[in-house]
Amino acid sequence: MNRRFAYYAWGLLAYNILVVLWGAFVRATGSGAGCGSHWPLCNGEVIPKSLQVETLIEYSHRLTSGILGILVLVLVIWAFRAFAKGDDAQEGGAQGTGIRRASLWTLFFIITEAAIGAGLVKMEWVAADTSVERVYTMVFHLLNTFFLLTANTLVAWFASGGKPFSLRGQAGLGVAFGAAFLGMIALGATGAIAALGDTLYLTLGVTPEDSPLVKTLVSLRIYHPLLAFVSFALIYVAIRVLAAYHPNSRALRYGYWVVGLFIVQLLCGGLNVYLKAPAWMQLIHLFITDIIWILLVVTAASALAIPQTRRESHYQSYRQTTTA
């Protein structure tokens, strides 16, 4: 195991989260138009002369995002230089293949992340814009962020000794985790819609009477907390299935962390509504969501990497215990 690379990958993931949170801060404060409709330049300048708060917030986000892109490129180059490509029969080869592939996916999603951000700016779907296209783009932006965090997490997980995983022969385990991930995706999509509605209505003062879109976004807000409970139930079921197959595994311990954090997230969601979605609370809410997603990825990867014979042994023991 290359410890320096593993530390770098985990550090990159932490920095990735910070960039995501700063991007959310840009949206929550209505600063997306701080550099005008110019991209990658800011108001037509490499270094903006304007000292307006919105410009500083947007420009700093572009700088941190640019640094992230360079760091991801370093990750890919390092991965291909430090890890050999191989199959399961070769010691370390499977991990090397996993690291290489995951690093390339990380690069792919960082490029699409930048493209989405550029599109929002160039099309002026920022600040107080109330176009329907902005809603769809924000949802896609959130989903792309999930995929980016997934790829980055898998690089770090493989580099830390994580074994190759497969969906073959996983019985209900793969289905349970698949449903949990779909629940999180639906929850994230409705969360992006709710957050945009909060920004337009509560922060920028665009009322439902002023905009039919804002009226729709406000009316749809109720679906986010409802989906939060559905998503929690799907994750809980996945962890129960995991407990049936691997009662004493590290994956199950990760799963308990996911459940515990989700309960905290439900409380934070209620507090966010009560406080009328201040920017700082939105960032905390998003931060916990990102951590839950990352832990769910690690939990699923750990569970699906356990050898088939061990899975069957644990499951048979569980069945005998529950039917006795």
DSSP readout, 154-219? Answer: HHHHHHTTPPP---TT-THHHHHHHHHHHHHHHHHHHHHHHHHHHIIIIIS---TTT-HHHHHHHH
- By the 10 Å C-beta count (0-12 exposed, 13-18 middle, 19+ buried), 44 is classed as exposed
Contacts of 280 (CB under 8 A, 6+ apart): none
Q: How many CB atoms lie within 10 A of CB 300?
A: 25
How far is the C-alpha of 152 from the C-alpha of 241, rounded, in Å? 26
Is 70 exceeded by the pLDDT of residue 207? yes
**179 has pLDDT over 50:** yes
Quickly state the pLDDT bin for 307 (edges 50, 70, 90).
low
Give CA torsion, residues 199, 203, 207, 210, to 10 deg.
Answer: -80
Asked if pLDDT for residue 213 goes beyond 70, the answer is yes
In 10 A of CB 315, how many CB atoms?
Answer: 18
- Chain position carrying tokens 């410009």: 55
pLDDT tens track for 274-306: 999 999 999 999 999 999 999 999 999 999 987
Alpha carbons 304 and 297: distance in angstroms, whole number: 11
For the cut 50, the answer to whether the pLDDT of residue 89 exceeds it is no
Q: What is the pTM (predicted TM-score) of this model?
A: 0.90
pLDDT in the model for residue 310: 47
Reduced to 3 states (helix: H, G, I; strand: E, B; else coil), residue 91 is coil
* pLDDT tens-digit readout, 106-153: 999 999 999 999 999 999 999 999 999 999 999 999 999 999 999 999
Residue 311 has pLDDT above 90, yes or no: no
Cis before 40? omega within 30: yes
User: Mean pLDDT for the chain?
Assistant: 90
User: Residue 279: what pLDDT?
Assistant: 93
Query: What's the token pair of residue 208?
Result: 């439902």
Query: What pLDDT score was predicted for residue 323?
Result: 53
Distance of CA 105 to the CA centre of its chain: 14
**Angle of helix 279-304 relative to helix 250-274, nearest 10 degrees?**
160
pLDDT tens digit string along 1-10? 689 999 999 9
Instruction: Note the pLDDT of residue 165.
Output: 82
Q: How confident is the model at residue 86 (pLDDT cuts 50, 70, 90)?
A: low
